[in-house]
Amino acid sequence: MAAAKWWQLAPAWGVALVVSGLLVWAGRHWPTPLLAQAWALERPDVAVVLALALVLLPPLGMALWLVLQMARYRDSGESIDCAHGER
Summarize pLDDT for 21-42 with one digit per residue, the tens.
998 898 888 788 888 999 999 9
Q: What pTM value is reported for the model? A: 0.53
Q: Give the sign of the dihedral formed by CA 72, CA 78, CA 81, CA 82.
A: negative
Q: Of the ranges 10-14, 27-31, 32-36, 70-74, which one carries the lowest mean pLDDT score?
A: 70-74
User: What residues contact 46, with CB distance under 8 A and at least 6 apart?
Assistant: 40
Number of helices (H), then strands (E), belonging to the chain: the values are 4, 0
Length of the chain (residues): 87
| Average pLDDT over every residue of 35-58 | 92
Q: For residues 27 and 48, which has the higher predicted lDDT (pLDDT)? A: 48
